Structure 1
Amino acid sequence: MSSFKVSIFQIRGNSFQIGLKTAEKVRNTPILKTFESITKQEIDLHNMKSIYSTFAPHLLEELEGLAQGLGISPGRAAALFSGYDVPKTEAMGCSALLTNDYYVRNYDFSPALYDGIFSLVQADKAFATAGYNLQMLGRHDGVNEKGLVAGLHFVSHDGYTKGVSPWTAIRMVLDRCSSVDEAVAMLKEIPHSACYNFSLGDRKGNMAEVEASSDKVIVRYGDSGLSCVNHFQDGRLTDKNRESIEGSIQRNKHLLDLMDKRLSHRDMFQHFKNAESPIFFTDYGNLFGTLHTFSYSHQHSRILTTIARSSQVLDINFQDWVKGEDILEGSLSGFIQEG
């Protein structure tokens, strides 16, 4: 069993300052070398800026802050952090359950390719957000001040092309959209690089799964509940699934069974984070181990989140944080135990 840690960043200011402050916090961490090993030396800066200008222009300012804070060129910062034209990354697993009242999700991958950062960010030109970082600028999952919650779920590399990574798409959605309808509209327009599901819920109880590929986007809506895993379920996209999706199908069945139990937000969160749960995984060596559990209650504006085998749970009233009340915690500590 090895120790495992996630840092908590709380940053308020304009987007350039947020990039600058983020750079200061990660300047001497090993994650930067990881990004260097999995990204290109250069990307098409003109195309990247055109996409960002359309969907989230403030993130260009954040990239400038990251560049200055790390002492690198804007072009190098874009290649490292923008999430545009990223070479194929390894498969990851994610399970999410949505109801009219809450959103709960596990993220499964390897700690070697994990930012290890949970950020609460309040920018002047975007909605305040809280979520787990991916490639610094992007997010695995999170919620914004309007109560929109979102997460990504890898499906396949079918039709892989130059485009926007799903983690950057999640950040754009959280920063700019106030509802499921707005998020769906944006995800239909973003040029996706690969096949991913996006799980979405909002404070009005709306929920959707956006099944997105590089050439087609389909939306599945839920009424009282919705599950989201790692395969496309709409018949128009199932030919893009990986050959082996038995595990994803089994997880989906478990989530549907859970939905029928009508558990409370806290009880569902406890089930997801429990190391004995059928949706908690320990195959970290094969890139399928649970790293964090993230959840949000719409009624109470309440985030419950933790990392693998941690005795700590972050319990945050996000609206209080948006009003200026910082949380006291600076990190989360847990353990990785290979199954």
Structure 2
Amino acid sequence: MKKIYSDILQFRGSHYDFGIKQGEELKDSLTIKNRRKQWKTRKARFIIDEKSVKEALAPYAPAMWDELVGLRDALEWPMDEVLKEFGGYRLEYVRSGCSIFTSNDYMIRNYDYHPRTYEGRFMIYQPTDGGYAVIGPSQRITGRMDGMNEKGLIMGYNFMHRKKPGDGFICNMIGRIILERCATVKEAVSMLKEIPHRHSFSYTVLDKNEETFVVEATPRGVEAYQSNVCTNHFDVLKHENRHHLDDSYKRMNAINAQKGNVSNGYEAFRMMNDMDKGVFSSDYRNWSGTIHTSGYFSKERKVWFALGGDREPVVFDFAKWLAGEKIYTKRIMGEVDTDLPFAHMD
């Protein structure tokens, strides 16, 4: 077993100042050193220019550009390097797993991916220049892989495939935009139908009105429907599915077989996080091992978070933080059954 951690980072202020703060913390970090090593072994297949990214962000999240500028100024990088690492537009994304289960007022989510991509950053940010406060783990620094905002909107995404990419945003930037700009499921679905998608993902969204929708999104089309279970295959856009889906159906069947016995959020968390329930995965070498299990409770505005399996969650009271209380815990600790290196640790 490998001991791992996520740092808890909290900030209130403008997007530019948030970018500066993150850049200062990242400047000499292993995360940045490892990401730059990765670019030495693979080349971008396209050019990302400032004008196209700024214009793409403008209709959806113009303040995100200020955060990118803050990162540039703190890191002292050329803007094209910042956009390649953190811009969230026209970038590539490798395959991953992930499973989601929701009830009327909570979402439990397993994030399954390769350790070398994991940044170990649990973010709590309240912007003062527009947009909602958001709590959740980061991906590619500026993006969010799952999370909840101050209005109680919850979001998590699941990978489908990378076939026929389009000119658009990648999943984690879309997740960040949804959480910062949308207050309800209705607004999130509308945003997902409008925003350009780089790859094919399902986005599960839930709000305090007890509505859960799964939105199947590709560069070629978007479909939304009500459901409380999602893994890594499309149920509506079936023609878009990959050929090898056995593991995705296995995890979905495990959730469907057990959900009738789930009567509260803790039992749902155990169904997803316990290593003997058939949903948690230890397949880290194939990009689909469960790194964290997160639980978001819309009405209470509380968040549960655990690294690795068979863990009790760390509980965050987001409502109290929004009221001005500081969270004094600095790190979330956990263990995973792998010897693979993590981006922020090794």
* TM-score, with length taken from structure 1: 0.94
How much has 1:91 moved relative to structure 2? 0.9
Which moved further from structure 2: 203-212 or 44-53? 44-53
Q: 1:191 aligns with which of 196, 218, 222?
A: 196
Q: Which residue of 1 aligns with 2:101?
A: 97
Q: Which residue of 2 aligns with 1:142?
A: 147
Q: Which residue of 2 aligns with 1:231?
A: 233
- Tell me how far apart the structure 1 counterparts of residues 223 and 284 of structure 2 sit (CA, whole Å): 31
Could you give the per-residue CA deviations for residues 53-99 of structure 1, whole angstroms, max 9, x where no partner exists?
A: 11001111111111111111233212210111113x32101100111
Answer yes or no: is 1:281 the counterpart of 2:265. no
Q: Which residue of 2 aligns with 1:291?
A: 291
How much has 1:312 moved relative to structure 2? 6.0
Could you give the per-residue CA deviations for residues 281-330 of structure 1, whole angstroms, max 9, x where no partner exists?
A: 11111111110011111232211111114856321121111111111211
User: Which residue type is aligned with residue 105 of structure 1?
Assistant: R
What SS is found at the alignment partner of 2:145? strand
Q: How does 1:99-114 map to 2 (within 5 A)?
A: 99-114=103-118
What SS is found at the alignment partner of 1:54? coil
- Unpaired segments of 5 or more residues in structure 1? none
RMSD over aligned CA atoms reads 1.7
Q: Which residue of 1 aligns with 2:2?
A: 2
Kindly report structure 1 stretches of 4+ aligned residues shifted beyond 4 Å: 309-312
- Tell me how far apart the structure 1 counterparts of residues 139 and 21 of structure 2 sit (CA, whole Å): 17
What SS is found at the alignment partner of 2:239? helix
What SS is found at the alignment partner of 1:256? helix
User: Which residue type is aligned with residue 78 of structure 1?
Assistant: L
Answer yes or no: is 1:33 the counterpart of 2:38. no
User: Which residue type is aligned with residue 117 of structure 2?
Assistant: L
- Tell me how far apart the structure 2 counterparts of residues 228 and 310 of structure 1 sit (CA, whole Å): 21
- Tell me how far apart the structure 2 counterparts of residues 177 and 90 of structure 1 sit (CA, whole Å): 27
- Tell me how far apart the structure 2 counterparts of residues 24 and 259 of structure 1 sit (CA, whole Å): 44
Q: Contact between 1:119 and 1:131, CA under 8 Å: does it hold in 2?
A: yes
Go from structure 1 to structure 2 and tell me whether the alpha carbon gap of 1:192 and 1:34 turns closer, same or farther (over 3 Å shift).
farther
Q: Contact between 1:197 and 1:209, CA under 8 Å: does it hold in 2?
A: yes
What SS is found at the alignment partner of 1:28? coil
Q: Which residue of 2 aligns with 1:302?
A: 302
Q: Which residue of 2 aligns with 1:212?
A: 217
- Unpaired segments of 5 or more residues in structure 2? 340-346
Which moved further from structure 2: 297-306 or 31-40? 31-40
- Tell me how far apart the structure 2 counterparts of residues 172 and 258 of structure 1 sit (CA, whole Å): 33
Q: Contact between 1:86 and 1:162, CA under 8 Å: does it hold in 2?
A: no
Q: Which residue of 1 aligns with 2:334?
A: 334
- Tell me how far apart the structure 2 counterparts of residues 277 and 127 of structure 1 sit (CA, whole Å): 35
How much has 1:197 moved relative to structure 2? 0.3
Of all paired residues, the percent bearing the same amino acid is 29
Q: Contact between 1:34 and 1:113, CA under 8 Å: does it hold in 2?
A: no
Q: Contact between 2:273 and 2:310, CA under 8 Å: does it hold in 1?
A: no
Q: Contact between 1:312 and 1:333, CA under 8 Å: does it hold in 2?
A: no
Q: Which residue of 2 aligns with 1:241?
A: 241
